[in-house]
Amino acid sequence: MPRTVRLVFVSPSEEPIGALAPFEVAIPWWPEAASVVARARDLHNVEVTMLRLIDAQGDPTNPFGMGGSVTYAVEAAVPPPDLLPWSGSITEDPRRAAWARPGGPASDLVWADGVLHSLGRRRSGPGEQIKTWNLSSVWRLPTREGDTWLKAVPTFFAHEGAVIGAIGPQFVPVLLGTAPGRALLGDVPGDDCFDASLDLMVEMVRFLVDLQTKWMDRLPELVSLGLPDWRPDRLGPALADLVTRCGGEIGPEQRRTLDDLISGLPDRWAEIDACGLPPTLVHGDFHPGNFRGQAGSLVLMDWGDSFIGHPLLDMIAMLDRAGDGKHRVRDEWMRAWAKAVPGSNPARAADLLAPVAALRNALVYRTFLDAIEASEYPYHAADVPKWLAAACREPSKPFEKRPVP
């Protein structure tokens, strides 16, 4: 389902100037910018920079097939002469990201050019805007030495650059420079792995467990990098607050299930701890699409969601995309952790964590909604009740305590 796009041009003070006639782009994903920019150039001979979503009428429950009718705010050095009147309004929002305001993307590019200059490099062509939304702004910057990637993120992802730098190459992209909320990254050869085979997913699991075992004894360093700390003493109260605040978004029977889950968390945490897997670095959005490369040379991208917590909290996103192969992927996870931590019981821990992981996803999306401007709520609003309901479908009823073998 393609997007039907309307571009509303705004002045430096964010006043609407006018709009182009709607046009279609084939890529349905709302944050994607490159095809929109190219289509505006082809149709109207204008170079635009997309700023943010103004309005969308589509299906946000499918993040890879949103489509529908989408209106964006854009800026241009010289707006085209064929603008049409636009009767809408743009409301100021203090939560608006810096890159979503006129001049914001240009400021990010100036910073990136400064980093390149300090490395003895410079751009060999104009930057290409790849995507923009409330969670990131991404640009491809060509240089003679190869492409570089500029990424700007909101304050709640501000630790991403520092985390990538601490992990280092082999596992993650090369970090060329970082500042709060900004990172300049080296190119990663190969393709995005959204359509990864089952064999490649199994390799991704081994990749993650290998990385996480290297950080089990380095938690103070993770704290110093500014990662959120979602170990039980902090995650438990946050989940309880979430259910109190958002429980009305699901049915009364489901709400009772969540209340039972919250009241049983102290015992559940104790059982999870007895399974023997220590807290470590958690990617937070671990699925095939966040990998780039191929078998034997994988690189894991997008560390903004990373936190300190139980390593098996990374299972939920991958298993959600493994389809009929989820049992094989899960079994490999269990084997890898049983080998990494002899005497542990990862299978028991995974069962106990299942409803917690789903509820934590609801917390993540509620956190996004609390921090982003209202016009971009359509990206995430459906996700909170979705994951609250998912937590109810997991084995969250009182469980039999069992000794660790």
| 346-369 burial: b if 16+ Cβ within 10 Å, else e | bbbbbbbbbbbbbbbbbbbbbbbb
Residue 404 has pLDDT above 60, yes or no: no
Name the residue among 371, 229, 379 with its Cα closest to residue 310.
Answer: 229
* Residue pair 349/275 in contact by the 8 Å Cβ criterion: yes
φ, ψ of residue 379 to 5 degrees: the values are: -65, -35
Q: What are the tens digits of pLDDT across the range 302-316? A: 999 999 999 999 999
Instruction: Determine the pLDDT at residue 289.
Output: 95
Question: Per-residue confidence at 397, pLDDT binned at 50, 70, 90?
Answer: very low
φ, ψ of residue 5 to 5 degrees: the values are: -105, 135
* Residue pair 135/192 in contact by the 8 Å Cβ criterion: no
Question: Per-residue confidence at 396, pLDDT binned at 50, 70, 90?
Answer: very low
Question: Per-residue confidence at 217, pLDDT binned at 50, 70, 90?
Answer: very high
Q: Over range 183-205, report the average pLDDT.
A: 95
Q: CB neighbours of 314 closer than 8 A, spacing ≥ 6?
A: 208, 212, 282, 283, 284, 286
Q: What are the tens digits of pLDDT across the range 315-358? A: 999 999 999 999 999 999 999 999 999 999 999 999 999 999 99
* Residue pair 272/352 in contact by the 8 Å Cβ criterion: yes
Q: What average pLDDT does the structure give for the chain?
A: 94
Q: Over range 284-306, report the average pLDDT.
A: 96
Question: Per-residue confidence at 65, pLDDT binned at 50, 70, 90?
Answer: low
- What is the architecture of the domain spanning 191-393? Alpha-Beta Complex (3.90)
Residue 81 token pair: 């002469």
Q: CB neighbours of 392 closer than 8 A, spacing ≥ 6?
A: 250, 254, 257, 258, 355
3/22 Cα distance (integer angstroms)? 10
Amino acid letter, 188: V
- Domains of the chain, by residue range, sit at 3-90, 99-186, 191-393
Provide the angle, in degrees to the nearest 10, between the axes of the packed helices 326-340 and 198-213: 30
Q: What are the tens digits of pLDDT across the range 49-59? A: 999 999 998 76
DSSP H or E stretch at residue 3: strand 3-10
Q: What are the tens digits of pLDDT across the range 28-48? A: 999 999 999 999 999 999 999
CATH number, domain 99-186? 3.30.200.20
Residue 399 has pLDDT above 50, yes or no: no
Chain center to CA of 139: 16
Question: Per-residue confidence at 60, pLDDT binned at 50, 70, 90?
Answer: low
Q: Over range 203-230, report the average pLDDT.
A: 97
Q: Which of 191-195, 204-208, 365-369 is predicted with the least confidence, judged by mean pLDDT?
A: 191-195
